[in-house]
Chains A and B, each alone.
Chain A
Amino acid sequence: MPWRSKTPDEFKVFYQQTILPGLDSLEKLRKKVWEKIVILTLVVFCFFIVIAAIMLSGAFVIQALMIPLVICAVLWVVLFRIVVNKSRVKFIAAFKEQVIGEIVRFIEPGLDYNYSKYIPLSVFNASKIFNVSPNRYRGDDYVSGRIGDTQIEFSEVAAERVTTRIDSKGRTRKEVQTIFKGLFFIADFNKEFKGTTVLLPDLTQKFLGRFAQKIQSIFRPRGQLIKLEDPDFEKRYVVYGDDQVEARYILTPGLMRRLVSFWDKMNKVNDSILGNFGSGNVNFLSNFSNVRMVYLSFIRSQVIVAISFNRKLFEPRLFRTLLDYSTIEDYFDDLQLALGIVEDLNLNTRIWSKR
């Protein structure tokens, strides 16, 4: 029987039956953390008032308040580590197991979920999507298993490059360049191939100005440029590969249509964003942050999909109640988005030599 994803209605039933009963104890944990933070902040604030009052009673110098302010900030951080962090970590672990883990198994019972594991750096680099190798690499929420006939794995990753340089005044400055932050998804592709074909978002210089240089330093063109026939596809992706025929063997007209829809789905069919590329308006940078970048790499008979996200994925919110259905539904939507790639790219169709 072909695999199919779960509908929102099915999720609603699952939520009522499985997730909701466990939410009460999770909510208690969350409130405990929340209360601790509030109390801690109040205590530190009172402490600050007292010091400030003592100092101000001597001489009225506003600048003098800087010292207690810094002391209190440091105190807050230290106390947070000692008093709050343990229960915060406990809450997050319980949340991930009881909410994220359950939803993953609901979508496909055969999937494994491990919240502390992630796609290793070596695999990230081997995707050949990003030319700059990160020196700070983190991640979590690793899912692996089979969807229908297709072996998949994904996790959230954040790859950064930290460089230090000495500025004109002789101070050392740390610069953090985000290479990629978001969802990193790997699946077995339904056709066999030898070379590498990489699809990058088509954001050329004329749309981005100075931004382009920064981006192009990350994605220096590699291999041959592959020009494809589909204009909608070409508007969204730029393709590089080491074999013209093989790239077209992978990117059939059908898959190109699917990738166009996939891009639009990731960007919630934002024609206005693509339209804005051409107009070159000043507000572009704010639009730029709204574009969800989609990168793909076809390598070693696998397809790798990297989707950028501005927010953290699959993390609980400390200051918002868990008992709201829409909060939990958002996690379901994010997981569906990741696991839906198999259907979006039609990976379960196995009519070629590869089984």
Chain B
Amino acid sequence: MILFGFLIILILIISPVIIYIVLRNSLINKKNQVENAFAGMDTMLKKRYDLIPNLVAAVKNYMKHEEKVLLEVTELRAKATQGMLTDDQKIDLDNRISKLLSNILVAVEAYPDLKASQNFLQLQAALNEVEEQISASRRAYNAMVTDYNNAVEMFPTSVIANMMKYQRKPLFEIPEAERKNVDVGKLFKE
């Protein structure tokens, strides 16, 4: 009888500890997945930075009028690859580069020779590819953050999240300019 009581007390003590460990680990796991997804996004962005010098080199000779844009994108790239940036700065730079790149690709329409060149076509395909991968990694990041945020706000993990001072993380939002549907008619008028 004494042994039985002793066992029950033991279980009463141990089981909260086990539950605590399991919940805590699942939270840590989710937080790490978010970080991992952010790193994955970074890798994809680096891929794009690698393509920029090639793109600039390929279009430079044709696009005399867009020299300013090309210069700007080169500068931004240099800034982005320097490192020592906060996450917010990274995202901001990335957004500006996205915008410039799409401007360049639209401007190419005015140069039929360039548009037809094999070199450029390959670059364009590579850029499309990278853009698609960047978008995939952003979506994967958002899915991980949603998972993490749910865990931070929902009971019972919310209690442990509070103890560990885990906070909600912001979702990666697509900038307004990118979210708008492309108005093809307007592009041609410009």
Residues of A within 8 A of B (CB): 191, 226-229, 244-246, 248-249, 252, 351-353, 355
How many residues of B are in contact with the other chain, CB < 8 A?
18
Instruction: List residues of B (27-57) whose CB comes within 8 Å of A's CBs.
Output: 37, 40
Are A191 and B140 interface neighbours, CB within 8 A? no
20 A-B pairs with C-beta separation under 8 A: A191-B129, A226-B143, A227-B147, A229-B139, A244-B140, A244-B144, A245-B40, A245-B136, A246-B136, A248-B135, A248-B136, A248-B140, A248-B143, A249-B132, A249-B136, A252-B135, A252-B136, A351-B125, A351-B128, A352-B125
B118 → chain A closest CB, angstroms:
12
Across the A-B interface, the 4 shortest Cβ-Cβ residue pairs:
A248-B136, A249-B136, A352-B129, A244-B140
B168 → chain A closest CB, angstroms:
18
Type the 1/0 row for B99-138, where 1 means its CB is closer than 8 Å to any CB of A. 0000000000000000000000000111011001101110
In the complex, what residues of B have CB within 8 A of residue A353's CB?
A: 125-126, 129
In the complex, what residues of A have CB within 8 A of residue B129's CB?
A: 191, 352-353
Bound Cα distance A226, B139 (Å): 11
Known A-B contacts A191-B132, A352-B132; the reply to A248 vs B139 at CB < 8 A is yes
Bound Cα distance A352, B126 (Å): 6
Bound Cα distance A252, B136 (Å): 7
Q: Dominant SS at the A interface?
A: loop
Contact with A245, one of B126, B128, B140, B147 (Cβ below 8 angstroms): B140
Closest residue on chain B to residue A192 by CB atoms: B129
Are A244 and B143 interface neighbours, CB within 8 A? yes
Closest residue on chain B to residue A248 by CB atoms: B136
Q: Which one of A227, A245, A246, A352 has the highest number of Cβ atoms from chain B below 10 Å of its Cβ?
A: A245
Are B128 and A352 interface neighbours, CB within 8 A? yes
Bound Cα distance A248, B136 (Å): 5
Bound Cα distance A229, B125 (Å): 26
Closest residue on chain A to residue B36 by CB atoms: A244
B172 → chain A closest CB, angstroms:
12
Known A-B contacts A245-B137, A352-B125, A353-B125; the reply to A227 vs B143 at CB < 8 A is yes
Contact with A249, one of B125, B126, B133 (Cβ below 8 angstroms): B133
Q: Which one of A226, A229, A252, A352 has the highest number of Cβ atoms from chain B below 10 Å of its Cβ?
A: A352
In the complex, what residues of B have CB within 8 A of residue A248's CB?
A: 135-137, 139-140, 143
Bound Cα distance A229, B128 (Å): 22
Known A-B contacts A227-B143, A229-B139; the reply to A245 vs B125 at CB < 8 A is no
Bound Cα distance A351, B136 (Å): 16
A196 → chain B closest CB, angstroms:
16
In the complex, what residues of B have CB within 8 A of residue A246's CB?
A: 136
